[in-house]
Structure 1
Amino acid sequence: MPEVQIGDLHVEVVRKNIRSLRLTVYAADSRIRVAVPTRTSHADIEQFVKARRAWILKHQANFQARVRPAELQYVSGETHYYQGIQHVLQVHTLDGVPRVVCAPDRTLHLYVRPTDSVQQREKVLTTWYRAQLKQQLPTLIAQWQQVVGVQVQEWGVKQMKTRWGTCNIRAKRIWLNLDLIKRAPHCLEYVVVHELVHLHERLHNARFWGLMDQFMPEWRAYRDQLKVSLGESGGKPDAC
């Protein structure tokens, strides 16, 4: 990805088939990214960034001032999220196949081998999260396809650092971020609807947001909830 130095700011520049310039400052590392129309000149990009320098520095300072959550060790007593609800992790050792059991008392029971490392414990929990999300998505996607009036050819789940979802319009394929299983169900629904609406309208323009208002009037509240960090994971920008 091309990078440019504008004054004292290091900026990633992405050229896309869009109509206007878009500026993003990422919470996780204070990285600056500008998406610009394909033929935008360097001078226009420089002017755009310099005009927003104060806004950029303000957001970088706010992100850097946040208390960073302690790195997870996957030991008993830690807080982990499932469907937007805090669960307490309880680790048990066994000689059989590792697994996770979600109890009604908001406890996640993690069964691992005595010799399993932190990374192996994380993998067991991540595998369980992935299975839960994949179990929920078929019904959710089928329901909202009828509402939105589109049909996807394929969908999948993957870990993404900067997006909650993506849509390949030509292939009619959507991807959902694995971390959505940690969020409230209506946040997951918002991202599903967001990606489905892209099959009607590729751009984030007035028509796109009008369709979002039509299909999911409460989408703004759900989007805002996604912007709030859960504690163990850094905030991400809006879907797409």
Structure 2
Amino acid sequence: MRKKEIEIEGITIQLHRKNIKNMYLRVLPPQGEVVISAPYLLPYEEIINFVKYRKEWILKKQELILNNNIQGPLKYKTCEKHYLWGAEYELQLVSKDELKKIHVDYNENIIYLPVPKRSKKETREKLLNELYRSELKKAIPPVLKKCSAIVGKTPSEVKVRNMKNWGNCRYQDKRITLNLKLAKKDPICLEYVMIHELCHLIEFNHGKNFKKLMDKFCPNWKKIKKILNE
């Protein structure tokens, strides 16, 4: 593959020449970088004409990304932004020789992540998830006590897992499971999810009766749900 930075119609483009048959265009978060992958032998004039034709779309896509602070896929690298209890933190990778366990600097909003040399993204992600797991487990007891008093129900157990949905409730054995990534969100989101799952101990589905329970026990639940899913 050959890489080259070019400018067409005032747009900076990363041109990647590859052994492919067709030309592809991508506008990438977080900065709206424009990347074109094109066949080795495709004439430069065709690339220029392609950019001219798609110029309006490119500009709109860049505006959308920048105005909505859309982030690209997480790589778990130094200076990358991550969240803990709704606050933004900068990730700093350090050698395991310098630091034995994850350290959170709450004053400077930095998460120091000790990693081995040449660590893989999956390894760094797993380590950060362990921080979220630990934080969530510490936060659960007082929130559970508060929410159980509100709803009038207590689960048999509350577990923490890395999963797709924010929480679930096994009605049969009254066990609640929470997503460890709730530790990324504003603490009010944990209360909302806890009340949501406790309400399932009364009403298992999401029908009208369930929504009435949510309105009763968490009147602003719709607003919090929106915050949670942002």
TM-score, normalised by the number of residues in structure 1: 0.63
- Counterpart selection for 2:85 from 80, 83, 86: 83
Task: Name the SS of the counterpart of 1:109 in structure 2.
Answer: strand
Q: Which residue of 2 aligns with 1:148?
A: 151
Task: Provide the rounded CA distance (Å) in 2 between the counterparts of 1:152 and 1:124.
Answer: 29
> Equivalent residues in 2 for 1:59-208 (5 A)?
69-95=71-97, 98-103=100-105, 104-161=107-164, 163-208=165-210
Alpha-carbon contact 1:98-1:111 (below 8 Å) kept = yes
**Residue 94 of structure 1, CA deviation:** 2.8
Alpha-carbon contact 1:99-1:128 (below 8 Å) kept = no
CA RMSD between the two structures: 2.0
**Residue 136 of structure 1, CA deviation:** 0.8
Compare 80-89 and 115-124 and name the one that shifted more. Answer: 115-124
From the CA coordinates, give the structure whose radius of gyration is larger.
2
Q: Which runs of 5+ in 2 are unaligned?
A: 1-63
Task: Name the SS of the counterpart of 1:86 in structure 2.
Answer: strand
- Aligned positions, number: 163
Alpha-carbon contact 1:130-1:157 (below 8 Å) kept = yes
Task: Provide the rounded CA distance (Å) in 2 between the counterparts of 1:71 and 1:160.
Answer: 18
Alpha-carbon contact 2:129-2:181 (below 8 Å) kept = no
Q: Once the two structures are superposed, what CA deviation does each residue of 1:16-37 show, in whole Å capped at 9, x if it has no partner?
A: xxxxxxxxxxxxxxxxxxxxxx
Alpha-carbon contact 1:152-1:173 (below 8 Å) kept = yes
TM-score, normalised by the number of residues in structure 2: 0.65
Which structure's relative contact order is higher, taking Cα pairs within 8 Å and 6+ residues apart? 1
Task: Name the SS of the counterpart of 2:219 in structure 1.
Answer: coil
**Residue 97 of structure 1, CA deviation:** 6.7
**Residue 72 of structure 1, CA deviation:** 2.4
Residue 213 of structure 2 corresponds to residue 211 of structure 1: yes
**Residue 226 of structure 1, CA deviation:** 1.8
